[in-house]
Amino acid sequence: MSHAVPLYAVLACELLPEPAPERIVLARDDAEALVRAVAADLQRLLPGIEQARLLLGAALLDGAEILRPGFPAHAALSELGLRLPRGDGAVVGIGAHHDRMPAQALQPDAQFAGAPMRYLPLLIEAEPAHAAELGTRLEQVLAEAGEAGGAAADRIMRACGLRLAHARYLSLADLLALTCVQYEHAGFAAHWPLIEAALLTPARREQVLSPRGAQWAWTGTRIALETPRAFLRRTQPAPETRVHGYAAAVFELRQAAALFAAHGLPLGSLDDAPDTAFQAQGVVEALITGAAAAAAPLLALRAPGLGVVALLRGDTELRRAALLATPLTGGGLPALRRHLGDADVTAPIEAPLAEVDADGVPWPARAARH
């Protein structure tokens, strides 16, 4: 099948909470058996699909692993399919060897363990003469009548040692729409336009305000996020609300960074600010310079329920700060300290977050001493 037109779909599986899955990838033999059951379902739902080639990735992926720039799970199926015999009506199940899938994009990430919704990627390679009609039917039929047959569902449950609430076929457009609704219900409505732009119109800049009013954007190459310091400096809340506002901004930034990173989106600062650098473990902002401030040890500022919300290097009495770092995860704190060149084997001095100045810089109470 030369110059085939790819059509993307998924087999969406809602897992029951018990029993916990014994595995979330299918072995090669199980993958071949599953793809035959899937092919039978799709021939029932989409007459004429038998003229296309069907490739199934036999791994239960999280939706965020499917919805990444370039749709890497489907791209991996296409790449693997180049090595396999081609022909009308061919069905190919790509499974695991010793629980390892042949492409990293098809290997489920442990960070999504316990996710109740999982998706097996499906790639339909259609001849150009039939692709448009098949694609139209794909969009019209699957969302309304795409319930998987018993044979496919049973194969997944037996191979993975789990129970399914339901399993149904979705087009990629269906999955995008479903995810949009799920994110809106979860309070992530502001996040979705940036993810959608990165997936579907990556060359176009998209700007939004976060639920708290922070400035976010998709720049064409990355997600740009306003830091808590920059947010408070721009919005200038009343002094008595700054501490709470700073902690809330850190919480929102952590949530956003985790969600965007799950979709494989790189993070950066607004307008390529030279004094701000996003690392995997946190955000580092270079502030005023000064020998005394730059030589000061790190101070860790804590907020109730959030742990360390800032690493500060500076003179707390003179309120002169050389550097501010915001940990994006609790587990990333040691790596962030190493990145900052903190070679001290002891933990940094800790103090409660007690004040935020008009420039958005957090501070302990003035009574704290180094």
Beta-bridge partner residues of 167:
13
pLDDT of residue 369: 45
User: Angle formed by the axes of helices 228-235 and 242-262, to 10°?
Assistant: 130
> What does the alpha-carbon distance between residue 206 and residue 191 come to, in Å, rounded to a whole number?
11
- What is each CA distance from 123 to 35, 82, 241, in whole angstroms? 11, 13, 52
8 Å CB contact between 339 and 286: no
> What does the alpha-carbon distance between residue 252 and residue 262 come to, in Å, rounded to a whole number?
15
How much of the chain, in percent, has pLDDT values that exceed 90? Answer: 76
8 Å CB contact between 118 and 24: yes
> What does the alpha-carbon distance between residue 104 and residue 67 come to, in Å, rounded to a whole number?
15
Q: Is the dihedral of CA 238, 244, 248, 249 positive or negative?
A: positive
pLDDT of residue 293: 55
Ramachandran area for residue 353 (φ above 0: left; ψ -120 to 50: alpha; else beta)? beta
- 309 pLDDT exceeds 50? yes
- 368 pLDDT exceeds 50? no
pLDDT of residue 147: 95
- What is each CA distance from 206 to 198, 252, 254, 258, in whole angstroms? 9, 19, 20, 19
Q: Which helix (H) or strand (E) holds 356?
A: strand 355-356
- What is each CA distance from 158 to 20, 29, 39, in whole angstroms? 13, 13, 19
Least confident of 37-41, 189-193, 270-274: 270-274
Q: Which helix (H) or strand (E) holds 78?
A: helix 72-81
pLDDT of residue 254: 96
> What does the alpha-carbon distance between residue 351 and residue 93 come to, in Å, rounded to a whole number?
56
One-letter amino acid of 118 = R
Which residues are CB-neighbours of 162 under 8 A, at least 6 positions away?
15, 16, 19, 20, 21, 22, 156
pLDDT of residue 370: 43
The more confident residue out of 311 and 295 is: 311
pLDDT 10s digits, 115-164: 999 999 999 999 998 899 999 999 999 988 999 999 999 999 999 999 99
> What does the alpha-carbon distance between residue 312 and residue 249 come to, in Å, rounded to a whole number?
17
- 344 pLDDT exceeds 70? no
- 111 pLDDT exceeds 70? yes
pLDDT 10s digits, 17-63: 999 999 999 999 999 999 999 999 999 999 889 889 999 999 999 99
Beta-bridge partner residues of 350:
300
Least confident of 101-105, 106-110, 310-314, 365-369: 365-369
The more confident residue out of 273 and 275 is: 275
Buried b / exposed e over 301-315, threshold 16 CB at 10 Å, is bbbeeeebbbbbbbe
